[in-house]
Structure 1
Amino acid sequence: MDISEFIPSAASYQAQTANLIRKFFDTNEITTQQECDEHASGIADQVVSPTALQGQKSYTVIAADESMVIQFRPPDCLLDVADVDIARMTYGRRFVPACVFRESWRGLFVYVMDSIQGEAFAIARQDLYTKENKHILFSTISDYSTFFAVSWTNRPTTPPDIKQIYQDYDSRLAALNDTVPPKFYSKLNTARNQLWRIFDPSHPIVLNHSGLTDTNVHVDKTTGRITGVIDWSGSCLGPFGTSLYGVDMALGFQSVNEWHWHPNHHELRKQFWESLSNIVGPLTDDQISTIKIARAVGLFLTFGYSNGVLVEDDDSRLMYLDVLLGME
């Protein structure tokens, strides 16, 4: 099945970016886009321009020589540089660009980051999903395996409070009983009843990215290699596998009306598991089963909530939950 016509175009992302920039400066009236650009140009000592994608509550520009990225954030949306530093120590420079707090300027907080090559997977998807580039997409999925394997290997040196994390997960899953439609009850109950398995001492507790979407993973569309992962603020310790939805985001996408899987998504998903097992050591059936439980838990906690608030039963996030829970 040809799904290329449903893939969001670069033009659609450009329009979205323009709207987000306009919204940012409508909300933060103390300064203008031109003033931010001029200030960033002074920091970079060269011309800057807005990045292809923008966050919901930030304004980001990139230097002309692509050596650095400069980001402006309001006080209610600060970037936790410590989170980025921890992620960088865990995942390494290949996957996590450096970030430093520069200054407070006109009511905004300014951060300077290393630029990463390539473009967001969301934008590169049009190229990666062509039949001719099937082998390139396989390289991308192999790199997802490498990315997750790094966290499996580089676990926190200081043991976290497992009991507290468990109680947090359990209470959040329990709260979903009151908001998700009945069709989710069976899988929600299974996730909660099996929660103990992903907190067993034999299962790794790792640093998880809190928003591993196709806009935060950057790739080189000519090779398929992942060039970096951005937006690490809010990353947290938890069971391995709870952010595996990131792989799903590479294997499919949401159009206006429905979800579309890549025609070879089963084959690609199989490759992911094989590559992961080869890197971290042979995974037993029980280990894979436990990781899949963690994936389901992660799906409920990611798409059952929006910014920490329970979603309503008509929220579009529940569509993602429905589709992704249906694929194991």
Structure 2
Amino acid sequence: MPLITYTLDSAIESFFSEEGTSASRAECDAFARRRYGAAALLVAVQGSSSYTVIAGSESDKIIQFRKSGSPLTESMLKLAKAVHGDLVPSCLHLGWIGDPNGSRLYIYEMNRLPRGNYITARSRLSLFAEPWQWFTTGGHEASDISTIKSDCEARFKHLAATLPDRFLPVITEVQQAIPSLFIGSYAMVLFHGDLNETNILVDTHTITGIIDWAEASMQPFGFALYALENCLGSMGPDGWKWFDDVDDLRNAFWKRFIELTGLSETQRQLAELAGKAGIILRYGIAYNAGFLGMLGV
């Protein structure tokens, strides 16, 4: 599998050249300049569905232009803010930019969270287990659990029919666990949906922010644990490679997590199955053999 090298220029060029973007980079930068009276400064790591700038060197505001197919949902942002407080940026929808008859971009104003993306700092950081509880806990009783369960079952039915046969034992294991994951005694929590190294902001061993909540939803606890696995290895030109001390790191996470939450052994087993479900759902739809190697198959 070829190694894809990220560059800021190529990420921005790709965003504005793809279908679904009727506004230009110059138009977006001009909007920020008019609103704040200063030239827009680029954020070092850009998302695939958004273009993000800082509103001037002295500003505490971020301006983000998002594709119409990837809006931020107000209700989910409010829930994320209620659960995680200052780790989630405040957000104000400012309207749209681009051709009214084409694919306009949503415009959002957010407060600027401190420090940088985990992906730019991971080489000098070690995994610290305790902060993971901040974004894997929370819940919302008003969620329609039966609808979420049906959607989950449909996704795994699709994956069972489309992924190579060697993945079927893992998919079957998760399918058998789905009823237990959606019973009232197992926690339904706020699920980020795209919890990766570019959306986690860190300072030394401290998480300072979680950004890009466009794919947030309610799911059984543990679906976000693919993010833990992301921190225990890295993807290179030869595929996925675990760190040498991966077992010690994973055990340290679970030891500390159980100390903090009082999780029973049964709940832990379900959480680990939910973690497998999260990996399959995240990487299985757009099949990638390297990442699904996390499952050991």
Provide the TM-score with structure 1 as the length reference: 0.81
- The letter for the 2-side match of 1:261 is W
- The letter for the 1-side match of 2:182 is F
For residue 41 of structure 1, report the CA deviation from its aligned partner.
Answer: 2.5
2:231 is paired with a residue whose SS is: helix
2:109 is paired with a residue whose SS is: strand
Map of 1:320 onto structure 2: 291
- The letter for the 1-side match of 2:275 is R
Question: 2:193 aligned with 1:210, yes or no?
Answer: yes
Distance 1:171 1:226 in 2: 34
For residue 193 of structure 1, report the CA deviation from its aligned partner.
Answer: 1.2
For residue 138 of structure 1, report the CA deviation from its aligned partner.
Answer: 3.8
Q: In 2 relative to 1, CA 97–29 (structure 1 residues): closer, same or farther, beyond 3 Å? A: closer
Distance 1:204 1:36 in 2: 41
Q: How many correspondences in the alignment?
A: 288
Question: 2:110 aligned with 1:126, yes or no?
Answer: no
For residue 248 of structure 1, report the CA deviation from its aligned partner.
Answer: 1.0
Map of 1:236 onto structure 2: 217
- The letter for the 1-side match of 2:68 is P
Map of 1:191 onto structure 2: 174
1:189 is paired with a residue whose SS is: helix
1:159-182 per-position Cα deviation (integer Å, ceiling 9, x unaligned): x22222222111211111221111
Q: Which one of the candidate residues 52, 65, 72 is aligned to 2:58?
A: 65
For residue 285 of structure 1, report the CA deviation from its aligned partner.
Answer: 1.1
1:174-198 per-position Cα deviation (integer Å, ceiling 9, x unaligned): 1112211111111111111121121
Q: Is the Cα–Cα contact under 8 Å of residues 66 and 106 in structure 2 kept in the other structure?
A: yes
Question: 2:111 aligned with 1:114, yes or no?
Answer: yes
Distance 1:58 1:120 in 2: 16
Question: 2:275 aligned with 1:283, yes or no?
Answer: no
Q: Which one of the candidate residues 18, 35, 49 is aligned to 1:43?
A: 35
Distance 2:24 2:231 in 1: 35
Distance 1:170 1:292 in 2: 18
Map of 2:152 onto structure 1: 169
For residue 45 of structure 1, report the CA deviation from its aligned partner.
Answer: 3.5
Percent identical pairs in the alignment equals: 28
Map of 2:88 onto structure 1: 96
Distance 2:110 2:94 in 1: 10
Q: In 2 relative to 1, CA 105–161 (structure 1 residues): closer, same or farther, beyond 3 Å? A: closer
- The letter for the 1-side match of 2:108 is Y
Task: Give the unaligned 5+ runs of structure 2.
Answer: 99-103
Higher mean alpha-carbon deviation, 164-173 vs 236-245, is at 164-173
For residue 66 of structure 1, report the CA deviation from its aligned partner.
Answer: 5.2
Q: Is the Cα–Cα contact under 8 Å of residues 198 and 293 in structure 1 kept in the other structure?
A: no
For residue 224 of structure 1, report the CA deviation from its aligned partner.
Answer: 1.8
Q: CA RMSD in A?
A: 2.2
Q: In 2 relative to 1, CA 271–22 (structure 1 residues): closer, same or farther, beyond 3 Å? A: same
Map of 1:304 onto structure 2: 284
For residue 127 of structure 1, report the CA deviation from its aligned partner.
Answer: 2.0
Q: Is the Cα–Cα contact under 8 Å of residues 127 and 231 in structure 2 kept in the other structure?
A: no
Q: Is the Cα–Cα contact under 8 Å of residues 240 and 294 in structure 2 kept in the other structure?
A: no
Provide the TM-score with structure 2 as the length reference: 0.89
For residue 43 of structure 1, report the CA deviation from its aligned partner.
Answer: 2.3
Task: Give the unaligned 5+ runs of structure 1.
Answer: 1-7, 129-136, 306-310
